[in-house]
């Protein structure tokens, strides 16, 4: 049985995925690692590259875009490792990252999921690890109320993002990015994986909340490091990503805060969404000139 199953959902990110796969090969050392790539109908030759660079990988080609959650659930069904790592294709392992994370989970059985320190290619530290957003955070973060009540919004953001913490120490958090999330496979299967009503966003908030509700802790592990280029796939389809973002936001709100609260949020969010759509259209027109 593999020590670790790594699940990567890919969509037209051939070169970042190539770097990711090579880093797995370089840094897995003595670990028995199973790599599962779910390719969401890429048109850039990603699947052929996987066959060439890592022929031992389990390559799944659904033939359509299963989105982030559907693709990961396919991988979770196929995984056979003791632990599973949900990983973005635009990430690069560093020395001992996998080993350190597995050792941490083995030493802390009450911890249901972990992430590690993530840095941009230029060395800048990424702001990972937060609290679950309350309903008021959705109102302040995604409607004009955040502009009117700017001071309250900023204080809520500081609270939610642990702004007094430099990400240089290991600690419990509530939400970690599912671009780099390691858990016992048995736990993720017991939770039935990702909620596929959410396509691309608020997926980590949802699954982390369910891990916490199941009685487990979620930790940020500062001793391990991963390089993350970030947004390699969604940057290709900015306008569609914007639409999906607001759809997923409302689905998340309805699931945890109810129908009435979500109708209020939807009414308040409409001007914000319209403004973002106009901004995207103008940006596209300028780029086409």
pLDDT (tens digit per residue) in 211-225 = 999 999 999 999 999
- Is 18 within a domain? yes
Would you say 195 and 145 are in contact if contact means Cβ atoms under 8 Å apart?
no
Taking only the tens place, the pLDDT of each residue in 55-103 is 999 999 999 999 999 999 999 999 999 999 999 999 999 999 999 999 9
Q: Which two tokens stand for residue 272?
A: 């914000």
Provide the pLDDT confidence category of residue 236 given band limits of 50, 70 and 90: low
Is residue 138 classed as helix, strand or coil in its secondary structure? helix
- Is 269 within a domain? no
- Is 36 within a domain? yes
Number of H-type helices and E-type strands within the chain: 11, 9
The confidence score (pLDDT) of residue 288 equals 32
Q: In angstroms, rounded to a whole number, what is the distance separating the alpha carbons of residues 263 and 240? A: 22
| Other CB atoms within 10 Å distance of the CB of residue 25 | 13
Please count the structural domains in the chain: 1
Q: To 10 degrees, the CA torsion angle through 159, 108, 196, 15?
A: 90
- Is 247 within a domain? no
The confidence score (pLDDT) of residue 241 equals 74
Whether residue 272 is predicted with pLDDT greater than 80 in this model: the reply is no
Residue 75, Cβ density class (10 Å: 0-12 exposed, 13-18 middle, ≥19 buried): buried
- Is 228 within a domain? yes
Tell me which of 37-46, 143-152, 187-196, 235-244 is least confident: 235-244
Please identify which residue in the block is written with the tokens 């309805």.
254
Taking only the tens place, the pLDDT of each residue in 156-182 is 999 999 999 999 999 999 999 999 999
User: In this predicted model, which residue has the larger pLDDT, 232 or 90?
Assistant: 90
- Is 259 within a domain? no
Mean pLDDT for the chain overall: 92
- Is 34 within a domain? yes
CATH number where 188 lies: 3.90.550.10
Please identify which residue in the block is written with the tokens 């430099």.
166
Q: Which two tokens stand for residue 9?
A: 């959902």
Whether residue 274 is predicted with pLDDT greater than 60 in this model: the reply is no
List Cα–Cα distances, 184 to 31, 36, 83, 258, in angstroms. 16, 16, 4, 31
Q: Which domain holds residue 104?
A: 4-133+162-232
């Amino acid at each position: 049985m593999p020590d670790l199953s790594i699940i990567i959902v890919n969509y037209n990110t051939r070169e970042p995925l190539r770097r990711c796969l090579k880093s797995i090969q370089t840094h897995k050392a003595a670990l028995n690692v199973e790599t599962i790539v779910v390719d969401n109908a890429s048109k850039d030759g990603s699947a052929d590259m996987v066959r060439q660079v890592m022929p031992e990988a389990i390559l799944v080609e659904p033939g359509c875009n299963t989105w982030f959650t559907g693709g990961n659930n396919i991988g979770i069904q196929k995984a056979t490792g003791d632990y599973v790592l949900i990983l973005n294709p635009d990430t690069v392992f560093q020395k001992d990252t996998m080993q350190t994370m597995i050792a941490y989970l083995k030493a802390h059985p009450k911890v249901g999921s972990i992430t590690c320190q993530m840095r941009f290619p230029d060395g800048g530290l990424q702001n990972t690890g937060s609290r679950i957003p309350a309903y008021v955070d959705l109102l302040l973060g995604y409607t004009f109320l955040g502009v009117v009540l700017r001071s309250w919004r900023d204080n809520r953001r500081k609270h939610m993002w642990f702004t007094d913490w430099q990400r240089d120490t290991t600690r419990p958090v509530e939400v970690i990015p599912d671009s780099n999330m390691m858990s016992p496979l048995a736990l993720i299967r017991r939770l039935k994986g990702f909620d596929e009503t959410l396509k691309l966003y608020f997926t980590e908030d949802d699954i982390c909340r369910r891990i916490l509700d199941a009685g487990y802790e979620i930790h940020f592990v500062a001793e391990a490091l991963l390089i993350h280029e970030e947004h390699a796939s969604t940057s290709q389809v900015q306008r569609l990503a914007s639409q999906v973002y607001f759809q997923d936001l409302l689905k998340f709100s309805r699931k945890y805060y109810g129908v009435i609260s979500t109708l209020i949020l939807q009414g308040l969010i409409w001007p914000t969404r319209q403004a973002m759509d106009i901004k995207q259209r103008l940006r596209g027109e300028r780029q086409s000139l």
